Every structure is written in C-alpha cells, then in structure tokens.
Amino acid sequence: MSKPVNVYSIGEVAQRLDDEVPIVFHRLGYKQSFKLIDTKLIIGYSIAVVAGISFVLDKKLGHNNVIQYQRLLVAAYFILSGVFWYFKKFIEKSILYTGTNKENNQTINFKRDIKDGKPIYQTSFIIKSKDGEVKSSEVNLEINKVFNENGYLQTDLFFQWVKKQIENIESKKD
C-alpha cells in the first residue's frame, strides 16, 4: 500500500492520481505510447545542444571569431524554443496518457486538469477507433470518491471509475 496523501492538497491528490493512471490503463489492456514524451525530449535536448555548441565555440575560439555562428545558433535556439512552446501549448495540451489497445484497435488519450481550491479531478477521455471514429467525454471525478478519509487512494475504485467512463464512451452513439 502506498503512503497517504493530504486530501486537502489538490496538488498531492492530483499527483497520486496521475501516478496511478498508467497502471489503470495497463490493467484495461492499453499499452502506453511515449511518442509525445519522446518528441518533447528531442526538442528539449536540441535546445540544450544548440546552447552547448554556442558556449563551446565562444569559449574555445573567442567571441569576436564566432559572431556569425553565434547569430545562427541564437536564431536556432529561438526557433527551437518556439517549436517547444507550440508543441506544449497546442499539440500535447495537457495529455497525461496516450495508449493503444490491440484487442479492439483503439487509441486513447487521457487529459486531466485541476482547479485550485476545488476537490475535483477534471478528466477528458478521447478514444479513436480503428476506422477513425473519435469519441470523447469530459468527466469530473470528486476526490472523495476514490480517496478514503486517511488519504489512501482506493485503487480498485479508481480503476472501476475509469473503466466505467470508457464503457460509457464506447456505448455512446455520435
């Protein structure tokens, strides 16, 4: 059993639920995809490499000898930083989990958000089927439904809640 969290701290509760999400989807037959994380890492490391090259050139060859290269490196740094910002803001968009289920050829994206001061875990489920049909649902989870009074996450209740939400989405007719 994991250690208890302060159920009055929305951040702690959200972190504990976030840690449980991959486990729940694994139990439901989904295999996690790390494409978004890998892309974010590649962009981030590219920014670091550009900054490192800039530092090494300046240190080894002297500032006056590498001004033209520094201009290119600074431009590349700003472009990569802009790409990183765009990726985080518009592509990743608070997606916490992406996975695929081979049995029913589905891809699922799970997003979450929390509002300060409210004990609600706001979730979005987006399911894309093999034929391209997209179904989604936004559901709020009241924290006291899955945490007991001592601050322990009741993992089976959380699992059942997620399973029920997915079943509701799959049974929805668009």
Q: What does the pLDDT look like over 85-98, one tens digit per residue?
A: 999 999 998 899 99
Specify the range with the lowest mean pLDDT, choosing from 73-77, 131-135, 155-159.
131-135
Average pLDDT value over all residues in the chain: 93
Residue 4 belongs to a domain? no
Residue 98 belongs to a domain? no
Same domain? For 166 and 142 the reply is: yes
pLDDT of residue 1: 57
pLDDT of residue 174: 57
* Contact criterion met (CB below 8 Å) for 78 and 38: no
Residue 112 has pLDDT above 90, yes or no: yes
Same domain? For 74 and 14 the reply is: no
pLDDT of residue 115: 77
Residue 45 belongs to a domain? yes
* Contact criterion met (CB below 8 Å) for 112 and 124: yes
Taking residues 21-42, what's their average pLDDT?
97
Taking residues 112-118, what's their average pLDDT?
82
Residue 165 belongs to a domain? yes
Taking residues 115-142, what's their average pLDDT?
90
Same domain? For 110 and 160 the reply is: yes
SS3 annotation, 59-83: HHHCHHHCHHHHHHHHHHHHHHHHH
Residue 19 belongs to a domain? yes
Residue 3 belongs to a domain? no
Same domain? For 119 and 158 the reply is: yes
Residue 133 belongs to a domain? yes
Range of the domain at 150: 10-29+103-171
* Contact criterion met (CB below 8 Å) for 2 and 12: no
Taking residues 148-163, what's their average pLDDT?
95
Taking residues 23-34, what's their average pLDDT?
97
| Number of domains into which the chain is organized | 2
